[in-house]
Structure 1
Amino acid sequence: MNIEYAPEPTPTDRATFEANLAELRTREKAHTRAGDAIAAARRQLPVVEVDASTPLLGPHGTVPLIDTFEGRHQLIAYYLMWFPGRPASEQCEGCTWNNSQVGELSYVHSRDITYAVFCQGPFDESLRYRDFMGWTMPWYSAQRSLDTLLVGRQVGMMHVVCYLRRGDRVFETYWTANRGVEAVDINYRLMDLTLYGRHEPWEDSPPGWPQSHDDGFRTDGRPTAQWSRIVAGRSENLAQ
């Protein structure tokens, strides 16, 4: 990858470096504590009941929302954007970025939480996309129930919604959209630790720092994670 890394960063001695890092670390710790406080406030939010029988389409046909918990008491649903009839290369690059990072779910399961994708498009077509990507998380189509499940929100946008099951009742406890769905992401968190960051134009970086990735989720016209699947010979035909 041809990226211009100019100008060079200013070198210094170890003591000066550590002193500057210590000053930054104070801010980082404050940021961590602020995040803990926000998470605590999130846990104290009131909840709103949703219809536990709201239908979704899964691999075994129509199922009620409550069944998508898979017997657990909490559910994180990623509402994946979908463009019906479009090829794999034209599907949502942001949703592809996020869900390509969801593999090992045993840790969230150990906390009595299920993670599932609620695709906003048709089941069969989108399931072929999941298979092309090699994802294994539970997959449902919420297409017929979006006005109920995303009431008051913009259908067609990526959302993460959290639910609680108590007996035969279901409650919505939290939701987020846009940059809030970076909760699913680890790549950006790692990039943010590096000198040059995300390489994106909006970042507040010194003059000359690389900021060439204005479409950070795509490479050569398709979602970046798809290229390894193409090389592996997987079919990207979604219209079978």
Structure 2
Amino acid sequence: MLDDAPMPAITDRATTYEDEVARLRVREKAHTREGDAIAAARRRLPMIEVEATAPLTGPQGALTLLDAFEGRRQLIAYYFMWNRGASAREQCEGCTWVTTQFAEPSYLHSRDITYATFCQGPYAESARYRDFMGWDMPWYSAEESLDTLLRPPKQPGLMHLVSYLRRGDRVFETYWTTRRGVEAADSSHSLMDLTVYGRQEPWEDSPPDWPDRCTHTRTAGGAPTWPPIPDWPAGRPIPHWPRLGAGRSDDLTAG
């Protein structure tokens, strides 16, 4: 149980605790400034032109990459991994984790930015997953254009965040990232990193015997929770469970 887990040393507020926080704050501020510097360098990267007419599929049928801007100047596209023909249970845990974080587009819209999910699988199948999850961001299938939009060194089949700029009817790619770079869209990990037990994942540098059984991926033990829940159903991304509990269907077939 969590009550049996190791804890940090207990000390007084006036000296040791506040002194240690103050020392850490110096490093945090340096980290923030370095992040600002990296963002400044990102704004100065060269860019490449991409095919504005690259086909996508959305709720109204065929459209293009240019259409996905919704008339705004910039577009951030999250490329959602997809296991074609697989059940909801077998879809990507990491992409589900990241996509679940996005809820409010108005702040991006105020900066002339559209955010959209570009699924790497077929539209109808993946849209049923979107509906099961209750997501309402723009959702398109980019399956037909992956060879164009995710050219090497990008790798179709991996999660990606890609930033685009529109100038008239021309589209330019200005930045892309993958793997842990997509944590830019993930607030939960950032909040976990502020806690004493962190993400509770095995790879983290934590003191001996710190809790480390959790992950956003499915495990043989089922949906990871802490403390573990006896007889918790196995083998799904964490956000599935409350949706199933609310009676939503996760059937991705046409039926």
- With normalisation by structure 1, the TM-score equals 0.97
1:226: which partner in 2? 240
1:72-83, aligned counterparts within 5 Å?
72-83=72-83
The CA deviation string for residues 104-141 of structure 1, in whole angstroms up to 9 with x for no partner, is 11000111000000000000000000000000000100
Kindly state the Cα deviation for residue 6 of structure 1 after the two structures are TM-superposed.
2.6
Does residue 1:137 correspond to 2:137, yes or no?
Answer: yes
Kindly state the Cα deviation for residue 217 of structure 1 after the two structures are TM-superposed.
3.6
Give the letter aligned to residue 185 of structure 2: V
1:14-93, aligned counterparts within 5 Å?
14=13, 15-93=15-93
Cα distance between partner residues in 2 of 1:3 and 1:230: 27
Secondary structure of the corresponding residue to residue 223 of structure 1 = coil
1:149-228, aligned counterparts within 5 Å?
149-152=149-152, 153-213=154-214, 215-218=215-218, 219=223, 220-228=234-242
Kindly state the Cα deviation for residue 3 of structure 1 after the two structures are TM-superposed.
4.1
Q: Identity of counterpart residues, as a percentage?
A: 65
CA gap of 1:211–1:5, structure 2 versus 1, over 3 A, is farther
1:117: which partner in 2? 117
Root-mean-square deviation (CA, aligned residues, Å) is: 1.0
Cα distance between partner residues in 2 of 1:26 and 1:65: 43
Kindly state the Cα deviation for residue 78 of structure 1 after the two structures are TM-superposed.
0.3
Kindly state the Cα deviation for residue 60 of structure 1 after the two structures are TM-superposed.
1.0
Contact 2:58 2:139 in 1 (8 A): yes
Cα distance between partner residues in 1 of 2:171 and 2:91: 31
Higher RCO structure (Cα 8 Å, ≥6 apart): 1
| Runs (5+) with no aligned partner, structure 1 | none
Does residue 1:237 correspond to 2:236, yes or no?
Answer: no
- With normalisation by structure 2, the TM-score equals 0.91
Q: How many residues align?
A: 238
Contact 2:56 2:62 in 1 (8 A): yes
| Runs (5+) with no aligned partner, structure 2 | 224-233
Cα distance between partner residues in 1 of 2:213 and 2:35: 30
Cα distance between partner residues in 1 of 2:83 and 2:192: 29
Q: Which moved more, 1:29-38 or 1:97-106?
A: 97-106
Contact 2:162 2:176 in 1 (8 A): yes
Cα distance between partner residues in 2 of 1:110 and 1:66: 19
Cα distance between partner residues in 2 of 1:70 and 1:197: 38
Secondary structure of the corresponding residue to residue 66 of structure 2 = helix
1:146: which partner in 2? 146
